[in-house]
Amino acid sequence: MFRKGRLDGPFGLYLPSSFYEPSLYVVKAMFILDSDGQRLVAKYYDETFPSPKEQQSFEKNTFNKTNRADGEIAFLEGMTIVYKSSIDLFFYVVGSSQENELMLASVLTCLFESLSHILRKNVEKRSLLDNLDSAFLVMDEIVDGGVILECDSQQVIQKLNFRVDENLLSEQSVAQVLQSAKEQIKWSLLK
């Protein structure tokens, strides 16, 4: 793997370009599993695990390695995995083996804090299942195609609240139009 003679790496060793080329594509996957290791929410951002079968196998291996561990980071199948558990949920953010663990941990923290706020501090399976759409929106606000967009949970929450407010306004407008139409029909029938 290493070739002597070039001073690209430490101690005059040649390092392949993949070791030191920076990339915006930091996150390979984010997923949330229940206490049995079953997938609740998952987003994969590249072809490292192309089929659902391979994804579930990776998730099961990850869960088996981390569900009894007290750590916050694991290395498995050439991947760096940061994780956190809460009541009956396990949160995971996956990057390549060269990725900075602190970057991945900041994504994980943002994911957990954003969901905690949206679920009103009730971060458990039942509550998450009732709000799956919000969980996917949170993931989409944090990472897009493997690129980290946001690591501040307050910014994510603010963006999502803005979208919710827009939807409420449009729903309210439709309701107002329907009410107005009902009143006009009622008055035309009374004449």
Q: What is the pLDDT of residue 56?
A: 93
Question: Does residue 182 sit within a domain?
Answer: no
Q: What is the pLDDT of residue 9?
A: 47
Cα separation, 40 vs 132, in Å, equals 8
Extract long-range pairs of 137-145: CB within 8 Å, 24+ residues apart: 137/163, 138/111, 138/114, 139/30, 139/41, 139/43, 139/111, 140/43, 141/114, 142/30, 142/107, 142/110, 142/111, 142/114, 143/27, 143/30, 143/43, 143/45, 143/107, 145/25, 145/45
Question: Does residue 159 sit within a domain?
Answer: no
Q: What is the pLDDT of residue 11?
A: 52
| Mean pLDDT, residues 174-180 taken together | 73
Does the pLDDT of residue 3 top 50, yes or no? no
Model pLDDT for residues 160-169, shown as the tens digit of each residue? 885 544 444 4
Model pLDDT for residues 125-151, shown as the tens digit of each residue? 888 888 888 899 999 999 998 888 888
Model pLDDT for residues 35-71, shown as the tens digit of each residue? 898 999 999 998 888 899 999 999 999 999 988 877 7
How many domains are there within the chain? 1
Does the pLDDT of residue 8 top 80, yes or no? no
Per-residue CA distances from 15 to 6, 98, 100 (Å)? 9, 13, 18
pLDDT over 70, % of the chain: 80
Q: What is the pLDDT of residue 104?
A: 92
Cα separation, 123 vs 151, in Å, equals 19
Question: For position 68, which CATH number holds?
Answer: 3.30.450.60
Model pLDDT for residues 71-97, shown as the tens digit of each residue? 788 888 889 999 998 888 999 999 988
Cα separation, 3 vs 113, in Å, equals 45
| Mean pLDDT, residues 113-131 taken together | 86
Owning domain of residue 109: 22-151
Question: Does residue 123 sit within a domain?
Answer: yes
